[in-house]
Structure 1
């Protein structure tokens, strides 16, 4: 019955997004077994964002569809789910950039955040150039983790013109954290890390946008908490070390900081200059989701715009610091 409800929600999402039953993706509701990394092997996926709801882990990803030498062509956000990290169900696209009337293209990195029984989809998109230039952050909402998601405010929460960043794609990669008192915060940015408190409506700000200084911050922030420690993982870059991004992190005693840099979680992704952390606790284990460029699908090999999501276990020392994570082809499968 539970699986039927999930499948029914996915079908509902497809129908309400404009698909007829004849047009719905043939993979909707299909299951597969984790065979190691990359996790999803029949299409290119990037920018993983896990969310745990009850006994289920949902994974939201961008669908990379670049061909040849094309850099990025990310056309939709896909969803997957699992109850055991072994058996996975595909749910197809839960949203496309053009579901926002003010958006031109680009299903860039996103995160779905649950609050008060609703699911808030924060994401980076390319704004319609008629009214803004560059990347913006939009917000969609649904009553189910699989949607249907709808634009929650009819305009961008953050436009390029709203911040004084160094370029027109500095307002990307949103991550959200909600405190026990219900106060929520949005972190985002490329080249500069920004943070602002969200209002109770979750679609406007309750305070000013501020900057957080972190060593080698590049993009992809992800906030989580374990015990009394707050963690802020992010894609970092030091060109003296490598032209590729790594995953570094900082810790703090409060969501407001101060943030102390703690070093590197894992190094550069294979065959991909970008890397994007998605970190979650599920069934008593901590997992680091990221992406690599090692997958081949049909006649297309992995590349900058053809990435593939992977996952590893993440462990902590007695001091609460994250132990280095080795990227492997085995992933979380039992050792031989």
Structure 2
């Protein structure tokens, strides 16, 4: 009799625990993880989604980069301080806008540091290398890869683009100017073009910062942020061309503030499901009522195309996206 009573109590306890347990998340929600984070780059490695954002704080506090991973876009795991100024002795502050790519079984993390304002200051775009996407990333060069204002572009907001032929390009630039340069095989420098020029300007109309590029149906989609990052006019626009070198003619704005949801939506990246024609835009925005410029959160929403291949305007949501695991 006693054993039956114990069994009954255990069953009751199990039912009570199940009733009290929080319901499983059906969507990612926006923001997708807690904390002030901006400039997110999303990417897929194997069967896992990864996001590498800027820690959104005062420049003097931006001394590290966190990463986040997910198997389904809904549940995210934090990987703290995958890179920090402790391993990049030249980087003193303002570690911004990480961009990552896998090559030859290694992971290369590009980032900007020090927010240099002229060629006389030391800093710019650096490169870290690691054996795993979660780091730790160590200094690949011992110095910045780009440390000058070529064509007027501040060396920030770097994106590493892999072309169809396997060549890699660095696309970057702030202060209203964007450059592209072909990386060499070991990511220690650049390969000059046929005209001898290393950095080629591809700045489209309206460009401010935050470039991103991807290929769909043989076309090169070039995207960027416009407006001021602390203001409500921050937005994402795009162009389409037949080459990563352009020319890029602005088509439209596809991501912007929504007075019912959030302000300052911008500095994005794009994640494509590896086996489906399904795309997601990962971006930051400022919650309504927030006045601190650094109070930005990372969000994700669907990005869709019309029958002509043009990007449809993205709807900002609080729900985010549903689970979409990689089989």
Q: If the TM-score is normalised by the length of the shorter chain, which range does it land in?
A: 0.7 to 0.9
Which deviates further from its counterpart, 214-223 or 257-266?
257-266
1:172 equivalent to 2:159? Answer no
Q: 2:53 aligns with which of 61, 85, 104?
A: 61
Give the unaligned 5+ runs of structure 2: 1-23, 193-197
User: Matches of 1:319 and 1:258 in 2, distance apart?
Assistant: 19
Deviations 1:80-133 (CA, angstroms, capped at 9, x unpaired) = 11111112211112011342111111121111111222211111101799x951
CA gap 1:45/1:243 in 2 versus in 1, 3 angstroms: closer
Partner of 1:331: 320
Partner of 2:271: 280
Deviations 1:247-288 (CA, angstroms, capped at 9, x unpaired) = 001111122222232211111376654721111102522100
- 1:247/1:268 contact within 8 Å kept: no
User: Matches of 2:285 and 2:123 in 1, distance apart?
Assistant: 23
Q: What TM-score do you get using the length of structure 2 for normalisation?
A: 0.80
Q: Secondary structure at the match of 1:277?
A: strand
1:197 equivalent to 2:182? Answer yes
1:292 equivalent to 2:285? Answer yes
Q: 1:316 aligns with which of 305, 311, 326?
A: 305
Tell me how many residue pairs correspond in the alignment: 287
1:268 equivalent to 2:275? Answer no
RMSD over aligned CA atoms reads 2.7
1:40 equivalent to 2:33? Answer yes
1:214 equivalent to 2:204? Answer yes
Q: Secondary structure at the match of 1:275?
A: strand
Q: CA deviation at 1:202?
A: 1.2
Partner of 1:85: 73
Q: CA deviation at 1:175?
A: 0.5
Deviations 1:187-225 (CA, angstroms, capped at 9, x unpaired) = 000110111111111120111111113011000001111
User: Matches of 1:259 and 1:275 in 2, distance apart?
Assistant: 19
- 1:73/1:305 contact within 8 Å kept: no
1:186 equivalent to 2:177? Answer no
* Higher-Rg member (1/2): 2
